[in-house]
């Protein structure tokens, strides 16, 4: 019994220690570089909606997803039955009006000769001239009609307007389409652009040709150089943001239209004092001994907080001015100061 009791006494129950996560930030200079990241979507710089200019049934469609096409390449045709019938009718009308014009001209020449000999009256001569002018106008109109019907036939053929890649096909052969109906989408540009919206708090800091960094969720661990190419002067009422366009200057075949992108802006305000340290207002605590922050020492998974007394100055848009007690680059806790203890082990969140 004694040995059993001794054996049981040797077992110790170890209590699992839960390391508390804390939010943090780094001490920075007022007006220093501030990085802001915004999301957008990649697209080629030129996207063309392909459509026929006349109505009809598609008899040929040479478009497939991912297909590379050259400018002027035939992509589709329509049956064009009505257009061809109208063209043939316009040819007949032109021939008829041309014949009438020639007849009117011969009549005018005959009446003019008689009029000069005194065998025809002036009214007969004027009537012959009016008939000829009417016949000429009818002939010119019929020629324009022929040209229009020729265009209608050409509108039944769809050609690639630029070199590019087919990004979408929305119709099939034997489908009836109307003028302007989108039958496919062509990515005709070579550069990749990213469209995104910025809030009014940062839009004035963004300028054309400003350099930025871009990352894509589909391409992990890599960033690409880009520049701002367009900045909208007015607010988009639908998104309540200012639309801007960023063009990626690093070419990479892995970047494809439609990819989700993150654009990193680094804003610098040279008018503010670079020697003034600031910390977020939420990071500053106060007790009977004065103002303080909790410094964080260690790595991300296991760190220690240390109470640090500081002297603060004015409150700026970026936080409290720090006069003494901190150095730039130090990590400080920004939330839950009331529950932190000096020397407590934490992990960075």
Domains delineated in the chain: 20-30+273-348 (2.40.420.20), 34-45+190-267 (2.40.30.170), 49-78+156-187 (2.40.50.100), 81-154 (1.10.287)
For residue 79, the 8-state DSSP code is -
Q: Give the list of residues 6+ apart from residue 282 with CB closer than 8 angstroms, or none.
A: 334, 335
Question: 196-233 b/e with 16+ CB inside 10 Å = b?
Answer: bbbeeeebeebeeebebbbbbeebeeeebebebbebee
Predicted confidence band of residue 16 (pLDDT cuts 50, 70, 90): low
Phi-psi region of 319 (alpha: psi -120 to 50; beta: other; left: phi over 0): left
**Pairwise CA distance, residues 103 & 132, whole Å:** 8
Radius of gyration in angstroms for the set of CA atoms belonging to the chain, rounded to a whole number: 40
First to last CA, the chain: 51
CA atoms within 13 A on the CB side of 111: 18
Give the chain's length: 349
Give the pLDDT of residue 12. Answer: 53
Q: What is the per-residue pLDDT for 34?
A: 65
Task: Quote the pLDDT of residue 276.
Answer: 78
The confidence score (pLDDT) of residue 5 equals: 47
Position 301 scores a pLDDT of: 73
Beta bridge partners of 180: none
Residue 49, token pair as written in the block: 């909606």
pLDDT at 103: 94
The strand pairing partners of 39, in sequence order, are 262
Percentage of residues in the chain with pLDDT exceeding 70? 91
Comparing 141-145, 151-155, 240-244, 290-294, the range with the smallest average pLDDT is 151-155
Contacts of 168 (CB under 8 A, 6+ apart): 65, 184, 185
Q: Quick one: pLDDT band at residue 347, thresholds 50, 70, 90?
A: confident
Angstrom distance (rounded) from CA 344 to CA 264:
34
Write down the pLDDT at residue 328: 82
At 247, the pLDDT band (50, 70, 90 cuts) reads very high
Assign 254 a pLDDT band (cuts: 50, 70, 90). confident
Structure tokens that stand for 222 in this block: 């890599």
Contact present, 160 and 75 (Cβ < 8 Å): yes
Q: Which of 50, 17, 7, 15 is nearest to 302 (CA)?
A: 17
Maximum mean pLDDT: which of 5-19, 28-42, 90-104: 90-104
User: pLDDT, tens digit, for every residue of 151-209?
Assistant: 888 888 999 998 888 988 999 999 999 999 999 999 887 788 999 999 888 888 898 99
At 150 the three-state DSSP class reads: helix
pLDDT for position 31: 60
Cα–Cα distance measured from residue 95 to residue 145, given in angstroms and rounded to the nearest whole number: 12
Q: 348: helix, coil or strand?
A: strand
Residues 6+ apart with CB under 8 A from 146: 87, 90, 91, 94
Short-list 14, 13, 26, CA closest to 318: 26
Give yes or no for residue 120 having a pLDDT over 70.
Answer: yes
For residue 185, what pLDDT is reported? 92
The whole-chain average pLDDT of the chain stands at 86
């Amino acid at each position: 019994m004694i040995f059993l009791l001794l054996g049981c006494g040797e077992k110790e129950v170890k209590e699992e220690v839960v390391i508390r996560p804390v939010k943090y930030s780094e001490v920075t200079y007022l007006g220093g570089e501030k990085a802001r990241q915004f999301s957008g979507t990649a697209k080629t710089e030129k996207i063309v909606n392909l459509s026929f200019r006349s109505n009809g049934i598609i008899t040929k469609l040479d478009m497939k997803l991912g297909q590379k096409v050259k400018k002027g390449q035939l992509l589709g045709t329509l049956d064009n039955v009505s257009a061809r019938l109208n063209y043939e009718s316009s040819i007949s009308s032109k021939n008829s009006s041309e014949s009438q014009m020639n007849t009117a001209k011969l009549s005018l020449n005959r009446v003019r000769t008689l009029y000069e000999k005194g065998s025809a009256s002036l009214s007969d001569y004027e009537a012959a001239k009016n008939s000829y002018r009417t016949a000429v106008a009818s002939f010119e109109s019929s020629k324009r009609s022929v040209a229009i019907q020729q265009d209608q036939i050409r509108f039944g053929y769809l050609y690639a307007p630029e070199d590019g890649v087919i990004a979408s096909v929305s119709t099939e052969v034997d489908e009836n389409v109307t003028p302007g109906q989108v039958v496919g989408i062509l990515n005709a540009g070579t550069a990749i652009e990213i469209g995104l919206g910025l809030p009014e708090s940062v839009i004035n800091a963004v300028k054309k040709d400003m350099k930025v960094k871009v990352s894509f969720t589909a391409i992990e661990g890599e960033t690409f150089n880009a520049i701002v190419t367009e900045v909208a002067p007015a607010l988009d009422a639908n998104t309540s943001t200012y639309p801007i366009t960023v063009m990626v200057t690093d070419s990479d075949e892995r970047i494809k239209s439609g990819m989700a992108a993150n654009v990193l802006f680094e804003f610098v305000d040279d008018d503010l004092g670079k020697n003034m340290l600031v910390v977020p207002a939420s990071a500053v605590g106060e007790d009977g001994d004065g103002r303080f922050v909790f410094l964080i020492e260690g790595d991300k998974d296991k760190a220690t907080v240390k109470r640090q007394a500081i002297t603060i100055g004015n409150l700026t848009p970026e936080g409290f001015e720090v006069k003494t007690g901190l150095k730039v680059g130090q990590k400080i806790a920004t939330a839950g100061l009331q529950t932190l203890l000096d020397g407590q082990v934490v992990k960075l969140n």
